Every structure is written in C-alpha cells, then in structure tokens.
Structure 1
C-alpha cells in the first residue's frame, strides 16, 4: 500500500500541493492578523481570551483545508473517472479497492497533517505575540495546553474524515464542480454559527465526530461500489 501511495503521489506531482498549502496558510495568517487589528477595541474582541482565539484559528484552518481536500478529491478521483483513466488503472494487477484506498489515504493524511500543523503553528504564534503585547490577560497552564492539544487532534482528525463527504456527491455524475460545491457547503455548515466563547469545538464535539464517521462510511462505500456501478 505504501508503494502504491508513493506512486500516486509521484504520478500527480503531489509536492506541488504543499506549495499551495503554504500559500493557503499564509493567507489564513494574514486574515487572522487583519481581524486582530480591525477588531481591536471592540467589546467582543476576537482575541479577548484564549478559548475564543483558538476556536477562531481552528475554524479558519479547518474551513480552508476541507475545501482544499475537495480539490484533491476532484483531482485524484473524480477527474480520473471523467477522463476514463481510472478504467485503465483497473486493468493493472492490483485490487481495485486498494487503488481507491491509496488515493483517499493521501487526501485524508494530507488534510489531517495540514490542519494539525497550522493549528499548532498559529496557536504557538498567538502565545508568542501575546508575550510581547499582552492583549489576552489570562495565562495558560500546562493542563490548558494539554487540553488544547487534545482538542486540536480531535478537530484535525474529524475534519480530515468529513472532508471525504463531498466524494459521495461528486461520484454521482463524476462531477468536479459538484465535488467543490459540496466542500464549500460542508464548510458553511460545519465552520459557522459560533458566537464568542459560548460555542466551542468542545461543546459541539458530537457534530464533527458524527460527520467524520459519515466521511469514513462514504469512503468505505466508494470502494464497495467499485465492482458494480462506478466501473461501468
């Protein structure tokens, strides 16, 4: 499986996606900085406390890379069905479900790592900047930091799983557009509707976990269907 994953990454020149992810990360960081400057002095200042600040960071990071995952699904799976290159791959002496599994593992792994790395990097940057400017009066204990790492891990894992949900809609007619629109709609549902510190990833953890389970189920079903409708 590892060899198949490496071949897929080489085939699609996957290293280019890390450059795209880097650009997306810079855009997120600049947007978060803009929020900090524009919102300063407001009664509901975005970075008034760590809980709200970390939630904002995680929300924007998840939104960005769930959409990024939709683009990867379109490139690695949907486009290959549209261009009929998937049928050629199915003639190889490799089990069909392993081919799809390799592609989905790449999307899942990339999304998980990018969300986790960006959450940790931007969260750490927030702590460092606060040491100089003290715009967040409270302090973090070791227990708080440990809890934050657990939340970030759960958030990254669930987001990487739910990022596979657009595959269900894209595979209906092998449509790249449908896949991307589904990703955007998913983000609009999952990454919106919070109000300050009253709603956090901890209080709504059942929602991302449920959607993550649905994403895994869809990935499993896509491999089961290989022997029937999707290869005809």
Structure 2
C-alpha cells in the first residue's frame, strides 16, 4: 500500500500542492494581522479570549483545506474516470479497491496534516502576538494551550473524514466541479462558528463526522471491482 501511495504522489506530482498550503497559511497570517490592526485603530478587542480566537482559526483552516482536499480528490479520482486514464491503472495486477483506497488515504492524510499543523501554527502565532502586543484580555493559561492542542487533533481528524464526503457526489455526477461545490456546501454546514462552538470542536461529534466521512468514502468505491463508475 505504501508503494502504491508513493506511486500516486509521484504520478500526480502532489508535492507541488504544499506550495498552496504555505500560501494559505501566509494568507491566514495576513488575515490575523489585519484583524488585529483594524481593531486596534478602532480601539476594539479583536477576540474576546483565546478560546474564541482558536475556534475561529480552526473553523477557517478546516474549511479551507477540506475544499483544498476536494480539488486533489477530483484530480486523483474524478478526472481519472473522465479521461479514462484510470482504465490503464486498473490493468495492473492490483485490486481496484486497493488502488482507490490508496487515493483516499492520500486525501485523508493530506487533510489531517494540513489542518493540524496549520491550526497549531496559527494558535501559536496568536499566543506569541498576545505575549508581545497584548491582543487578548487577560493572560492565556497553560491549560488553555493544552486544550487547544487536543481540540486541534480532533478537528483535524474530523476534517480528514469529511474530506471524503464530496467524492460521493462527484462519482454520482462524474464531475470535478460537483465535487468541489459539494465540499463548499459541506464546510458551510460544519465550519460555521456560533458562541465559540463548531460541530467538529466537540470530541464525540468530531469522531462521528470522521467516521461518517470514511463510511461515505467506502460507499463511493465499494462497487469499483464490478464496474467503472
């Protein structure tokens, strides 16, 4: 499976997408900086507390990389079917389901890693800015930092599972655009923030969302041995 995953990464030159990840994080940093300076000019507090800042960051990061993952998913799976290039891969002495599973693993791992490390990086940046510029009321406690780390893991896990859900729509419609549009619709439902709460910020909910995504991903490829979708 590892060799198959490496083959897919080389075939589609997926390493280049890390430039997009770095660009997205640069955009996040600029956004946080703008929020701080605009609120400073108006003499307002940008975030009520660290939990609020962390919740908003995790929601924005999650939404961004779930959509990002849908682009990769469309390239790895949907475009292969549309261009009939997957027919060649299906002639390999490897089960079709194993080939498709390798593609889904790539998307899940990419989403998990980008959401986790981006969230941790940006939370750390907010902490440093608070220590330097005092952007939050009061001090950030060690317990708050620990909680944000745990929350980041669960949110990344949920995002990894959710990233597979657009595949079902994409396979049914045989459309890359449908895959991406469905991911946008998905993040509007799961990444909205209300009273420092998002669906994926709760452990049980994040695990449920991740499992739901994995199940839907499996349903999308369950008949791949029998027919070309």
TM-score (norm 1): 0.91
Matched, 1:36 2:36: yes
Q: Which runs of 5+ in 2 are unaligned?
A: none
Rounded to whole Å, the distance in 2 between the matches of 1:175 and 1:8 is 21
Matched, 1:149 2:144: no
Number of positions where the alignment pairs a residue of Structure 1 with one of Structure 2: 228
Q: Identify the residue that residue 195 of structure 1 maps to in structure 2.
A: 194
Rounded to whole Å, the distance in 2 between the matches of 1:51 and 1:59 is 12
The 8 Å contact of residues 154 and 201 in structure 2, kept in 1 or not, is answered as no
RMSD: 1.9
From 211, 214, 227, the equivalent of 2:225 is 227
Q: Identify the residue that residue 60 of structure 2 maps to in structure 1.
A: 60
Shift of 1:18: 0.5
Matched, 1:110 2:110: yes
The 8 Å contact of residues 155 and 201 in structure 1, kept in 2 or not, is answered as no
**Change in 2 beyond 3 A, CA 1:202/1:79:** closer
**1:27-66: per-residue Cα shift (whole Å, max 9, x none)?**
12212222223344576x4422101011111111011101
The 8 Å contact of residues 48 and 135 in structure 1, kept in 2 or not, is answered as no
TM-score (norm 2): 0.92
Shift of 1:186: 0.6
**1:149-177: per-residue Cα shift (whole Å, max 9, x none)?**
11100000101111110000000021001
Matched, 1:134 2:134: yes
The 8 Å contact of residues 164 and 216 in structure 1, kept in 2 or not, is answered as yes
Bigger mean CA offset, 66-75 vs 206-215: 206-215
Q: Which runs of 5+ in 1 are unaligned?
A: none
The 8 Å contact of residues 151 and 201 in structure 2, kept in 1 or not, is answered as no
